[in-house]
């Protein structure tokens, strides 16, 4: 039965390759094909995640002694399910959105293939397999970033590629140290290094290499520059890949190294932990501050992602079960919230071609659905109870104080508070302006503005409902990912 794990990885890749060759001419046929592939695949993912827990599949060795290996566990299964559900929503949104970008055939081919690669990352059973799919995620998403082939997007793609590939190489050095020192790259809750004490300093080097190497994809300072640049990509890419899939693949990999390979117990209290905690705190503040300064809506959201991803990294770097849980809650919560914010921004761009924050005055009355959803998501990201952001920050703060943390843990609580304030300012200023344009506002500039059609509003509404419902469910769901 464990062979089934291969289906959600291979199916989208084959389907995508076939699209590149087939070149659908008719929109309807293409949409049916893509939707069918993605939905069938998502069903497989959910089935595998919930019924095949503990299954393992070992394929041929990729390098000496380390085979390509897949396994289903709580963390991988939940991550895969999250990505799969969001993929369905985004694909319908993209059907409508991409009509104004053109080149849909290539776009959907690579968009679908990326789904398969993401499943490879989720179900990877050891570091080598994770690394394999991680590299291919970079390569497969380049055509999506470069989509309109303009100079700006080519530059963005080049920067993305070079950042990501060098990050992965650094991570590979860490993996090589882990493989050589511990002998195993397999994922075991609690890590496989408990017996290794002699090479502790080597393991610290390995951890720092892996954290910053994989951290490149989750935009850790000072390797974050590619993410705001990549916001030139079409919105479905920014939303799904640059808020959920690609960036969280980085976080996911860091979580795997921390809790499943080297082991939190081996790393707690080391210099390496200090370094990564400090880096994540700096990134949280920096990202929020930069977001505040952006006038371009998608860039503001991108910097917000930079900041929010480091909340997760901060939680992971606390090296405690509470920190892990807080990080995972924020991983899930932020995924849903940020994808919503991006899809709202995309809806605005699609209907009005407005990309800057000051152009959104008074738009709330004309695009009520979009802006109400945007506001709900903003409230969630800031962390207003009972929305998801509140619970993850609660857990992160508890973890920062608990488990006899260092001074950096306490500093973390201050940083989280300041960042929440900054988040409130950079998001609420948009919401307030949109609904209450103030006196002397010339309403005629918004004369022709209206909400987009069902393809977009339905996914947005579903997401808004999900955010509200999820606030209540976030804890039980995350418990499924517990170590």
Partner 1 sequence: MGIAIIVLLLVGAVAAWVCKNDKTARMIALVVTAIDAVIAVVMTMNVSSGGEQVIRFGSGFIAQSIRIGKIECFMACIFGIIGFLIVWASMSMISHDVEKDLIPFYYFLVLALLGTLNAVVFFESLIGVFVSIELSSFAAAGIVIVKNQTENVHAGLKYLSLSILGSSLVLMGVVILYVATKGLDITTIGTAIKAAGFMGEKSAYVIWAFALITSGVAFKAALFPCHIWLPDAHGTAPSPSSAILSSLVLKAYIVFYMKMVFGAVGFDIIAGSGMRILLNVVMVVGVVAMICGSVLAIMQTDIKRMIAYSSVAQMGYIFMGIGLGTEFGLFAALFHILAHAVTKSGLFLVAGSIIEQTHNRDLNKMGGLGKLMPITMALFTIGGLSMIGIPLFVGFNSKWNFATGIVGSSNYWLLIPLSISALLNALYYLPVVIRAFFGKEAQEITEPFASKERPVKDLLPLILLAVGVVIFGVAAGPVSDFLHSGIEVLSNIGL
Binding site for partner 1 (CB under 8 A): 60-64, 128, 131-132, 135-136, 139, 142-143, 146, 149, 154, 157-158, 161-162, 165-166, 169-170, 172-173, 176-177, 179-181, 202, 205, 209
CB closer to partner 1 out of 158 and 354: 158
Residue 403 corresponds to which tokens in the numbers above?
A: 């488990």
Minimum gap (Å) between residue 230 Cβ and partner 1: 14
Residue labelled with tokens 């916001």:
231
Minimum gap (Å) between residue 147 Cβ and partner 1: 9
Minimum gap (Å) between residue 165 Cβ and partner 1: 5
Minimum gap (Å) between residue 254 Cβ and partner 1: 18
Minimum gap (Å) between residue 157 Cβ and partner 1: 6
CB closer to partner 1 out of 213 and 315: 213
Minimum gap (Å) between residue 81 Cβ and partner 1: 26
Supply the Cα-derived Rg of the chain in whole angstroms. Answer: 21
Minimum gap (Å) between residue 101 Cβ and partner 1: 15
CB closer to partner 1 out of 179 and 400: 179
Residue 164 corresponds to which tokens in the numbers above?
A: 């990501």
CB closer to partner 1 out of 142 and 292: 142
How many whole angstroms separate alpha carbon 360 and alpha carbon 341?
14
How many whole angstroms separate alpha carbon 158 and alpha carbon 164?
10
Whether the Cβ atoms of residue 8 and residue 116 lie closer than 8 Å to each other:
yes
CB closer to partner 1 out of 186 and 209: 209
Residue 438 corresponds to which tokens in the numbers above?
A: 């103030």
Cis status of the peptide bond prior to 425, with omega within 30 of 0: no
**Closest residue by Cα to residue 70 from 1, 110, 123, 107:** 123
CB closer to partner 1 out of 136 and 394: 136
CB closer to partner 1 out of 158 and 365: 158
How many whole angstroms separate alpha carbon 144 and alpha carbon 16?
13
The residues near 47 (Cβ < 8 Å, ≥ 6 apart) are: none
- CB-count exposure of residue 132 (10 Å: 0-12, 13-18, 19+): middle
How many whole angstroms separate alpha carbon 13 and alpha carbon 30?
16
């Amino acid at each position: 039965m464990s062979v089934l794990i291969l289906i959600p990885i291979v199916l989208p890749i084959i389907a995508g390759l076939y699209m590149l060759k087939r070149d659908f001419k008719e929109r309807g046929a293409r949409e049916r094909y893509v939707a069918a592939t993605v939905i069938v695949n998502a069903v497989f993912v959910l089935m595998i995640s919930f019924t095949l827990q503990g299954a393992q599949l070992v394929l041929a060795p990729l390098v000496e002694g380390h085979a390509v290996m897949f396994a289903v566990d709580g963390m991988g299964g939940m991550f895969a399910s999250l990505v799969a559900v969001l993929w369905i929503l985004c694909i319908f949104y993209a059907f409508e959105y991409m009509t104004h970008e053109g080149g849909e055939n290539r776009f959907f081919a690579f968009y679908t293939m990326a789904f398969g690669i993401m499943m490879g990352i989720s179900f990877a059973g050891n570091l080598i397999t994770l690394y394999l799919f991680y590299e291919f995620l970079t390569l497969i998403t380049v055509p999506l970033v470069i989509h309109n082939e303009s100079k700006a997007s080519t530059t963005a793609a080049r920067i993305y590629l070079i950042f990501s590939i060098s990050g992965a190489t650094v991570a590979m050095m860490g993996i090589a140290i882990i493989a050589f020192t511990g002998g195993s790259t397999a994922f075991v809750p609690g890590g496989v290094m408990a017996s290794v004490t002699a090479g502790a300093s080597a393991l610290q080097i390995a951890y720092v290499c892996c954290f910053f190497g994989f951290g490149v994809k989750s935009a850790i300072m000072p390797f974050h520059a590619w993410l705001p640049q990549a916001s030139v990509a079409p919105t479905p890419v920014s939303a799904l890949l640059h808020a959920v899939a690609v960036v969280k693949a980085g976080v996911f990999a860091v979580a795997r190294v921390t809790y499943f390979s080297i082991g939190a117990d081996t790393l707690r209290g080391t210099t390496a932990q200090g370094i990564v905690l400090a880096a994540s705190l700096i990134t949280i503040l920096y990202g929020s501050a930069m977001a505040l300064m952006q006038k371009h809506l998608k860039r503001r959201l991108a910097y917000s992602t930079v900041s929010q991803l480091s909340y997760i990294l901060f939680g992971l770097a606390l090296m405690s079960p509470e920190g892990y849980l807080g990080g995972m809650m924020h991983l899930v919560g932020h995924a849903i919230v940020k994808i919503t914010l991006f899809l709202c921004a995309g809806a605005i761009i699609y209907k009005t071609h407005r990309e800057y924050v000051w152009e959104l005055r008074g738009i709330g009355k004309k695009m009520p659905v979009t802006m109400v959803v945007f506001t709900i998501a903003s409230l969630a990201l800031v962390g207003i109870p009972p929305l998801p952001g509140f619970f993850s920050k609660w857990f992160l703060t508890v973890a920062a104080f608990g488990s006899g943390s260092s001074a950096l843990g306490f500093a973390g609580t201050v940083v989280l508070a300041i960042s929440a304030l900054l988040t409130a300012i950079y998001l609420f200023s948009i919401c307030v302006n949109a609904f209450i344009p103030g006196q002397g506002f010339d309403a005629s500039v918004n004369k022709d503005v209206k909400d987009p059609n069902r393809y977009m509003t339905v996914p947005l509404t579903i997401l808004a409902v999900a955010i509200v419902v999820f606030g209540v469910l976030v804890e039980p769901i995350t418990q499924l990912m517990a170590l």
